Amino acid sequence: MKKLGPLVIGDLTAKYPVIQGGMGVGISLSSLAGAVAKAGGIGIISTAQIGFRDPDFLKEPMEANMRAIRSEFEKARQIAPKGIIGFNIMVATKNYARYVKEAIRAGADIIISGAGLPVDLPEYLAEAKRLASEAGETVRTKIAPIVSTAKSALVICKMWDRKYHRIPDLVVIEGPLAGGHLGFTREQLAAYGADTDQVTKTYDEKAYDEEIRGIIKVVKQFEEKYNSHIPVVLAGGIYTHENVEHAMELGADGVQVGTRFVTTRECDAPMSYKQAYLDATEKDIVITKSPVGMPGRAIRNVFLDNTSENRVKIEHCYQCLEHCDPKNIPYCITKALSNAAEGDLDHALLFCGSNACRCDRIETVEDVIGDLMGVAG
């Protein structure tokens, strides 16, 4: 088993091999990301409708989001001047390239990208580097795809190799126990026993462990070709020190954790959102179909019950996702997620990981990282 040492990504070194997962809308912003980075992990800001509190968001959501990328990063950097701070940017985001370039210009240490395969991410980074060089500046942003299967890992590594002559700086493996939008079909989730209300009891860990080994095997092929180590981080269902140890036994270099950080003092979510996690039972955690057809894990509430039978009138399009048709969706996901971040839970989509029901108290970020690393207290 690998030791729980630092997580090294090129010239970046995190004291602890813990990446905080990007959670939008408004759940992982500067407060949480800055605190994690300050504590020795890697803090991640979600760009998903990041400017939802901007006064001009309704009129110009894109411009509001661009401003917020820079302001949230700057606030996080003030909290952790020497920490590692990056962004999670969904490939499914409308105007994805613009988000990536703005995050790089803001100074992101790393960009983690999923919800689709980030096939053109290296192109956007190369363009940003060229422009920075012309201005006498240097870009050191690392890029990391999120994959869920060996097949998707092979596709992205082969494409980056063939088209851009490079490899990922990091690979995040997101398993079926993760929160929010999932990189699996409903059928794949069923195959792992992860689409039932009793998910923690029925999850076929051994089956997905084999998939993880397959992904790591794919990554090693490209490590050998480029004679350069590609760190692999495991996400989805990471809640305890034992989970971290298991990830290391499988060959991972680190872990990515989302749910455990929601119920921290530093998390950007309102207390009502955190309380929903504290109150959730195992049967409250369900797989739901998002408006864009992707399965996602969330806490069952009045909103989910109502929208399972009734369509919520779409009053405004916030231009959030590439393949969203406002005329044919059951509700607006931007509105549902921003309601959650504002504490209007009866009209909110509450994304969560499979372990949300295990949250029983408010902790600090340092408490969580210490517990994950087995050095609490």
| Predicted confidence (pLDDT) at residue 75 exceeds the cutoff of 90 | yes
Q: What is the pLDDT of residues 155-214, one digit of tens each?
A: 999 999 999 999 999 999 999 999 987 877 777 777 776 655 444 456 788 889 999 999
Strand partners, 142: 110
Angstrom CA distances, 81 to 19, 38, 96, 366, stand at: 17, 8, 27, 17
pLDDT, average across residues 109-120: 95
| Predicted confidence (pLDDT) at residue 21 exceeds the cutoff of 90 | yes
pLDDT, average across residues 116-131: 94
Q: What is the pLDDT of residues 76-89, one digit of tens each?
A: 999 999 999 999 99
* The predicted structure's pLDDT at residue 2: 59
Q: What is the pLDDT of residues 300-340, one digit of tens each?
A: 999 999 887 778 888 887 777 777 777 778 888 889 999 99
Annotate 162-199 with DSSP letters as a single string.
Answer: IIIS---S-EEEE-TT-SEE-SS-HHHHHHTT-SSTTH
- Alpha-carbon distance of 273 to 115, in angstroms, equals 23
* The predicted structure's pLDDT at residue 101: 95
Q: Whose CA is closest to 318, among 89, 56, 45, 49?
A: 49
Q: Which two tokens stand for residue 144?
A: 């990391």
**Cα–Cα–Cα angle for 91, 96, 97, nearest 5°?**
125
Q: Is the peptide bond before 25 cis (omega within 30 degrees of 0)?
A: yes
| Predicted confidence (pLDDT) at residue 236 exceeds the cutoff of 90 | yes
User: What percent of the chain shows pLDDT beyond 90?
Assistant: 76
* The predicted structure's pLDDT at residue 308: 79
* The predicted structure's pLDDT at residue 312: 81
